[in-house]
Amino acid sequence: MAKEEKIYIYGKHAVMEALANKPESLKKVFLANQDDAELMALVNKSGVSVAKFNGSETGGLDRDAKHQGIIGLLSVDRLVLNYDNFIKNLKITPDTCLVILGELQDPQNVGSIIRTSAAMGIAGIFIPEHNQAPVTGAVVKVSAGMAFRVPLIQIGNINNLIKDLKEKGFWIYGLDGESKQILNDEKFETPTVFIIGNEARGIREKTREHCDVMLRIPMHKQCESMNAAVSTAIALYAWSDRHPDALN
C-alpha cells in the first residue's frame, strides 16, 4: 500500500469542525498554545493526540495559509467513506439528493460545492479516485469545515456508479447550457443525482449518455456560462426548493 500523503487542515474553525464531527479523521493536532478552553475541551473529548506547533512539522503547508497556530494532520482514508458502506446505510426517499463530481480540477470549486451541498441538505458527495482534485486542506478551508459534516464517498468509475444508483431508483441529472429542458421546470419527484462536469470539458460524453435529463440554467445572453460551483449552487437550490424537508 502506498504511503498516505500528509495533508493538513488549518485554522481554529476547520480543526474544531473536524474534532466535533469527525475526530477519527485527525491523526494529530499541532497547537502553538493550549489557552483556548473551547478548543481544548474538544481535543480532550476526542482523544486526538496533541503536539507543540513550531512550524517544522508542517513543511507541506501552504506558506500563505492562515493557520492561527492551529493545525490538524488529516487522514483522508478516515474521512472519505467506502461506497458499499455508505449506500448500505443510506435511507433513500424522494427527498434524497446526491452529487457526483465529474473530474473537477479546481480545489476552490470542490470546497464550495461541499459547502453548498451541506446548506441544501445533500445526502452525499461522490469523489472520483482519478482525474479529480482531491480533498486537501485548501478544500476543507473553502468548505468552511462542511467536509466533516457532509458524507464524502470515494468512487472508481463514474459510469458504474450511475448504473448502480439507477437500479436503486435515482434519476440522473446533468447540467448543459445547450439543453432545451430548463432547470426551473423540473419537479424532481424521485431520488436525485446531479453530475457536475469538469470546468473546461463539462460532463464526459459517455457519462452524458447515462444521464436521464440534461438541464439548462436560464441566464442573460450577455453571459455565456457560470463556473462549476455557481452552477451547482443554483441547481441544488432549485432541488431543495421542491424538497423543504431536506433542510430540516
pLDDT band (50, 70, 90) for residue 2: very low
Given 17, 52, 76, which residue is the final one in a domain?
76
Q: How many distinct structural domains can be found in the chain? A: 2
Residue 161 pLDDT greater than 80, yes or no: yes
Q: Give this prediction's pTM.
A: 0.91
C-alpha grid cell for residue 211?
444521464
> 146 and 58 in one domain?
no
Same domain (yes/no): 36, 112: no
Regarding whether 52 and 123 lie in a shared domain, the answer is no
Q: Is the same domain home to 32 and 57?
A: yes
**Claim to verify: residue 27 and residue 60 sit in the same structural domain:** yes
- Predicted local confidence at residue 56, as pLDDT: 63
**Could you tell me the pLDDT band of residue 174, with boundaries at 50, 70 and 90?**
very high
Q: What is the pLDDT of residue 82?
A: 94
Domain assignment present for residue 1? The answer is: no
- The arithmetic mean of pLDDT across residues 184-193, rounded, is 96
- Does one domain contain both 94 and 109? yes
pLDDT digits (tens, 9 = 90+) for 100-147: 999 999 999 999 999 999 999 999 999 999 999 999 888 998 999 999
Do residues 99 and 232 lie in contact, with contact meaning Cβ atoms separated by under 8 Å? yes
- The larger pLDDT score, comparing residue 248 to residue 1, is at 248
Give just the sign of the alpha carbon dihedral 8, 10, 12, 16: negative
Is pLDDT at 7 greater than 90 in this prediction?
no
